[in-house]
Structure 1
Amino acid sequence: MPSSWLISWSFAAWTVASALAIYVLLIAFSRVIGPRAFSQMTAFDFAVTVALGAIVGSTAAGAVGLPAGLLALASLFTFRGTVAVARRHGLTRLVDNSPLLLFVEGRFQPGNLRKAKITRNDVYEALRLNGTTTLDEVAAVIIERNGELSVLPRNGTIDPELMENVVGDDGAP
């Protein structure tokens, strides 16, 4: 067995203690932030999650000292909390993508498809997964902030408030 595989008991104990401490703090901060911390993610949320993973991994593995890891974790959660407050005060567009109208009243919106980097086939797939059997059943398809496609059925009037922040909704039902 190579000697590089061997570690001292004190180093092993410190690694376990660091991993436990960073894990407990991660859970504590997640509880403070609320359920949105692990809900369906926007691009910003995904970036924060990747950074959290890097911090937790580096700290648990001993590549970064426990105080530095805890400070980095606290800083990231503080930043994320600040952004959450900014979202509530109308600064969402600085952090998140806006929902885009991709299909409305039987017509694709080519400019928005390009912006979203979505193909017609992606929209067709979402329609099939939604149980749609004909395009006549569809009032609109929207790509949401988190990248999911919403299919609005053509079975009544859509409340204009639902379309308020959707880009390209001028001709929406």
Structure 2
Amino acid sequence: MSIIIARAFIFYFILTLMMKLMGKRQLGEMELSELVTTFLLSELAVYPITDPDIPLIHGLLPVLLISSLEVIISFACQRSKTLLKLLNGNPIVLYENGGYIDNNLIKTRVSTEDVETQVRINGFKGLEEIDKVILERTGKMSILPKGNQTSNQNGE
């Protein structure tokens, strides 16, 4: 039992360090590759923690490798917009000039009710106050109002 506790502490500190090295994004702002990496790291840590027969290094090496790969890909995406678009997609306009863009709603599987809910959450009475709604790469909706009103992004 003490081996499992010690391994849990080791992996906790290693995973915390790796997540800090990968960046300080909030969960809701993670891009797809970061979310996948987070799930992979948590899964990789489970078996060496709970099974003392698995050498600790068999869990640490993949964690370090995947974390390093995520950092390298992140740097590469900062330097290459093409790679960024390939891995994380583009922002998609869902509503513009008084109308929904149906193909984009279907492609993103977002309903008109989802858009209208985000408009209200952002403090607007309705779509008549809105110029454009954009689904960002992070999954959040940016609400761009008409005229001189201030813009909001998903309640922030």
The TM-score bracket by the shorter chain reads 0.7 to 0.9
| CA displacement at 1:36 relative to structure 2 | 3.1
Match of 1:152 in 2: 144
| CA displacement at 1:64 relative to structure 2 | 4.0
Percent of residue pairs bearing the same amino acid type: 25
Match of 2:59 in 1: 69
Runs of 5+ unmatched residues, structure 2: 150-156
2:14 to 3, 7, 25: 25
CA distance in 1, matches of 2:27, 2:128: 36
AA at the equivalent of 1:74: L
In the superposition, the TM-score normalised over structure 2's length comes to: 0.85
Contact 1:42 1:146 in 2 (8 A): yes
Runs of 5+ unmatched residues, structure 1: 1-11, 158-173
Match of 1:83 in 2: 73
Match of 1:141 in 2: 133
2:47 to 58, 62, 66: 58
2:110 to 109, 113, 118: 118
CA shift digits 1:58-88 (9 cap, x unpaired): 2221274310110011011011011101210
State the number of aligned residues: 147
In the superposition, the TM-score normalised over structure 1's length comes to: 0.77
CA shift digits 1:106-161 (9 cap, x unpaired): 1111111111111111111111111211322101000011111111111249xxxx
Greater Rg over alpha carbons, structure = 1
Residues 82 and 71 of structure 1: is their aligned pair in 2 closer, same or farther, counting only changes over 3 Å?
same
Contact 2:97 2:131 in 1 (8 A): yes
Aligned-CA RMSD value = 2.1
| CA displacement at 1:39 relative to structure 2 | 6.2
CA distance in 2, matches of 1:39, 1:115: 21
| CA displacement at 1:31 relative to structure 2 | 2.6
Residues 85 and 37 of structure 1: is their aligned pair in 2 closer, same or farther, counting only changes over 3 Å?
farther
Residues 100 and 138 of structure 1: is their aligned pair in 2 closer, same or farther, counting only changes over 3 Å?
same
Match of 1:93 in 2: 85
Query: Runs in 1 of length 4+ with deviation above 4 angstroms?
Result: none
Secondary structure at 2:147's aligned position in 1?
Answer: coil
Contact 1:137 1:154 in 2 (8 A): yes
CA distance in 2, matches of 1:37, 1:48: 14
